[in-house]
Every structure is written in structure tokens, then in C-alpha cells.
């Protein structure tokens, strides 16, 4: 165990999932969620000489997602992957809005039984890669339980939009959900998830909405105007035992560093009062001013400040990569974040 370093968990096969297009606002666009995203981050961190060590991991089996996702969702993603040729990607164009029956059409590639948008294509390797991404998160949770205090799971594809029975928003399995579930099963009694991705993590919220064992706190673009539109409002506070263990902080378009850091302070107070055993940080780098799908205006240096604040909470922390689409700048953003996060180690 070496807690003078950040442990970075990764898998080099993530490039196998490589959708080329998505449909957004009636337009076919190049897909934002590219393998170069994590390549750039990894390269920049290596070049930065920050105190890190890398661990390349292999896949765990499907069991790691079974507690948080339905068999129907898992099998549907698996089936569409298996039925796809090497270069073929599929997404539905028919979305059934009435509750679906047991009966499944043969055209599972065309009909949405579980998919929430037209930005999340499934290809031959999507199931495998999504499971690898979840495995990174699972391994991160295991290593943290073993005593490693600071871990960064370089997950790709991201996870926070994936619900128990739904995939979408470039997410297939909920990586943060896999880790939180493993923490709870391993005897941690309270887990806090702080989600700083630009988009509300509807999946993570939904999975833990009824439990008081997992606190979900999210700072994101106002869902009145931003994806995923149907959740992320501040009156969604949890239900049943989970009432009060869900905090949404939607922020307006144009949010700058000052406004953002104020919201972060409030988020951190909520986490402190929850007294978690561990923290999961869903780290989206898509709140950046040059991000192509973001309407906040955070600077490169803002990430260093965000990181210092989160580090000051002093919890064993599993940082998981979520969104972030300004590919050429992602490395800089991640380095800025971890420079702030590891600052005390640098001064030693
Ligand atoms: N015109 C993550 O950051 N597209 N997913 C929205 C609006 C979907 C982003 C485009 C964005 C999903 C993990
Ligand atoms: Zn996002």
C-alpha cells in the first residue's frame, strides 16, 4: 500500500467501443464520447510527473452489475452487442412510452426497451467495454477497502446516466453504482457520491433514491434546459428511507467559477453532515468553458480549486471518470484537478 501516490486504474481495451456518430437535435454528429478522451488524460498525467501509479486491470464477470441493473437491461445490451458485426452500431428509433409487455419484437436493435436517447449506440464490443469500465470501478472499490486512500478509475464509457433498467447518455452500466453497491456489501455503512459532471446523473440518483445508505449530491446544468431534462430538479430529495439523502443543485447557463465554488461548498457541507465512510466522486470534465456540450464557463484553474475543496473533506475517495468532451484539453483539465488534489503530497 502506498498512500503517497494516487492509484490510477485503467484498461487499454476501452477503444473497442468506438461509436462514430450520434443523433442530436435532429442532426447526425460525430460521437462525442471518443477513446481519445482517456488516452489524452493518461498521456497528460504521465507527462505531468504527478505522484501516481497505474494499474491495468482485466474484466470481472457480469455479477458485478447484477445488484444494480436488471437482467433485462444487461441481456438487452449483451444481445445487441452479440448481434452486431465488427463495424456496426445500433440505436433505436422507436421509443415505446406505454409500459412494455413481456413480448419482445425480433428487431431489438430498432426498438427501445431500455434506451433513453439516440446518443448511445451499441456495437459488437459495447457490452464487453461497458463491463470493463464497470470493472475499473469495482476494482477501485476493492482497492479502497484494502486501504488505498486515493484512487482514480479511468472509466470509459461513463456511467452516471445508466439506471437500473435504462441505458443512455453515452452510459451503459453505472460505474459509480457498482462501486457504491460493493462498498455497502463489504460493510461500509455510508457512502457519499458527489457528481460534478455537467449533466445530472439520473442513473445514480435513481439507483439509490430509496436508501439512506448512499447519499447522492449533484451539481449540474439546469435540467429545464439541459440533458437529461426529466430529472435533476432541486425538489427531488429521495423517497422512503432515502428521503433527504438526495441533493440536486441545478445551476444556470453561464455559471462561472465563483458561482460554481459556492455551490460546491454547500454540496460539501451536506456530505460532511452525512458522515460517510467513503466518497465516490463522479468527475465529469464537461463543465469547462470550451467543452462542446457545456454552457458553464469554468477555467482550467477552476479544477484545481474544486479538487482542493474535495480533498479537504479527507475521506478515502474513489474518483471515477464520467463526461468531458473537449478532447484536446481534457489532459490539462485532469492534470489541473489532480495537481490540486495531490498538492499536500507534492509539498512533502
Ligand atoms: N443537445 C455524459 O456526460 N447529449 N453524458 C446532449 C444536447 C447527451 C452526456 C446533447 C449528453 C450525455 C456522461
Ligand atoms: Zn456529462
pLDDT tens for 279-301 read: 999 999 999 999 999 999 999 99
Q: Whose CA is nearest to atom 6 of ligand 1?
A: 227
Q: Return the beta strands (E) in 12-149 as ranges.
A: 21-24, 27-30, 52-56, 89-90, 94-95, 111-112, 122-123
Cβ pair 184, 232 in contact under 8 A: no
Reported as a pLDDT band with limits 50, 70 and 90, residue 100 is low
Helix (H, G, I), strand (E, B) or coil at 195: strand
- What is the whole-number distance in angstroms between the Cα of residue 2 and the centre of ligand 2? 31
Summarize pLDDT for 73-83 with one digit per residue, the tens.
999 999 999 99
- What Rg value do the Cα atoms of the chain yield, rounded? 19
- What is the whole-number distance in angstroms between the Cα of residue 156 and the centre of ligand 1? 14
- What is the whole-number distance in angstroms between the Cα of residue 161 and the centre of ligand 2? 9
Q: Which residues surround ligand 2, an ion (CB under 5 A)?
A: 197-199, 284, 286, 323
Please determine, for residue 101, whether its predicted confidence score (pLDDT) is greater than 90.
no
Selection from 164, 165, 173, 160 nearest residue 122 by Cα? 173
161 catalytically annotated: yes
DSSP line for 124-186 = TTHHHHHHHHHHHHHHHHHHHHTT--EEEE--SS--TT-BTTBBBTTBSS-HHHHHHHHHHHT
Choice among 17, 18, 69, 161 that is catalytic: 161
The backbone region for 174, taken as left when phi is positive above 0, alpha when psi lies in -120 to 50, beta otherwise, is beta
Which atom number of ligand 1 is nearest to the Cα of residue 322? Answer: 13
Reported as a pLDDT band with limits 50, 70 and 90, residue 347 is low
The backbone region for 187, taken as left when phi is positive above 0, alpha when psi lies in -120 to 50, beta otherwise, is left
Summarize pLDDT for 240-293 with one digit per residue, the tens.
999 999 999 999 999 999 999 999 999 999 999 999 999 999 999 999 999 999
Summarize pLDDT for 134-178 with one digit per residue, the tens.
999 999 999 999 999 999 999 999 999 999 999 999 999 999 999
Summarize pLDDT for 4-48 with one digit per residue, the tens.
999 999 999 999 999 999 999 999 999 999 999 999 999 999 999
* pTM of the entire predicted model: 0.98
Which residues' Cβ are closer than 6 Å to ligand 1?
24-25, 119, 158, 160-161, 169-171, 197, 199, 227, 284, 286, 293, 322-323
Amino acid at each position: 500500500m502506498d498512500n503517497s501516490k494516487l492509484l490510477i486504474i485503467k484498461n487499454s481495451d476501452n477503444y473497442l467501443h468506438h461509436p462514430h456518430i450520434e443523433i442530436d437535435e435532429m442532426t447526425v454528429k460525430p460521437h462525442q464520447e471518443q477513446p481519445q478522451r482517456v488516452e489524452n488524460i493518461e498521456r497528460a498525467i504521465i507527462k505531468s510527473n504527478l505522484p501516481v501509479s497505474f494499474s491495468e486491470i482485466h474484466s470481472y464477470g457480469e455479477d458485478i452489475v447484477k445488484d444494480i441493473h436488471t437482467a433485462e437491461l444487461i441481456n438487452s445490451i449483451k444481445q445487441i452487442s452479440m448481434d452486431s458485426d465488427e463495424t456496426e452500431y445500433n440505436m433505436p428509433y422507436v421509443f415505446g412510452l406505454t409500459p412494455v409487455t413481456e413480448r419482445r419484437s425480433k428487431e431489438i436493435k430498432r426498438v427501445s426497451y431500455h434506451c433513453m436517447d439516440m446518443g448511445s449506440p451499441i456495437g459488437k464490443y459495447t457490452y464487453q467495454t461497458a463491463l470493463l469500465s464497470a470493472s475499473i470501478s469495482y476494482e477501485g472499490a476493492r482497492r479502497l477497502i484494502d486501504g488505498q486512500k486515493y484512487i482514480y478509475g479511468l472509466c470509459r464509457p461513463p456511467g452516471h446516466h445508466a439506471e437500473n433498467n435504462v441505458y443512455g447518455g453515452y452510459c451503459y452500466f453505472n460505474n459509480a453504482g457498482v462501486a457504491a453497491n460493493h462498498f455497502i456489501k463489504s460493510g461500509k455503512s455510508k457512502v457519499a457520491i458527489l457528481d460534478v459532471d455537467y449533466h445530472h446523473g439520473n442513473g445514480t440518483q435513481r439507483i439509490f433514491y430509496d436508501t439512506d445508505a448512499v447519499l447522492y449530491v449533484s451539481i449540474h446544468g439546469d435540467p429545464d434546459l439541459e440533458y437529461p431534462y426529466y430529472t435533476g430538479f432541486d425538489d427531488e430529495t429521495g423517497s422512503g428511507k432515502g428521503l433527504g439523502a438526495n441533493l440536486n443543485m441545478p445551476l444556470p447557463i453561464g455559471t462561472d467559477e465563483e458561482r460554481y465554488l459556492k455551490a460546491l461548498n454547500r454540496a460539501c457541507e451536506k456530505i460532511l453532515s452525512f458522515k460517510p465512510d467513503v466518497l465516490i466522486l463522479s468527475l465529469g470534465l464537461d463543465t469547462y468553458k470550451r467543452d462542446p456540450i457545456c454552457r458553464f464557463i469554468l477555467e482550467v484553474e477552476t479544477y484545481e480549486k474544486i479538487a482542493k475543496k474535495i480533498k479537504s473533506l479527507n475521506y478515502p475517495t474513489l474518483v471515477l471518470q464520467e463526461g468531458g468532451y473537449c478532447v484536446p484539453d481534457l489532459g490539462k483539465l485532469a492534470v489541473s484537478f489532480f495537481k490540486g488534489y495531490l498538492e499536500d503530497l507534492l509539498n512533502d
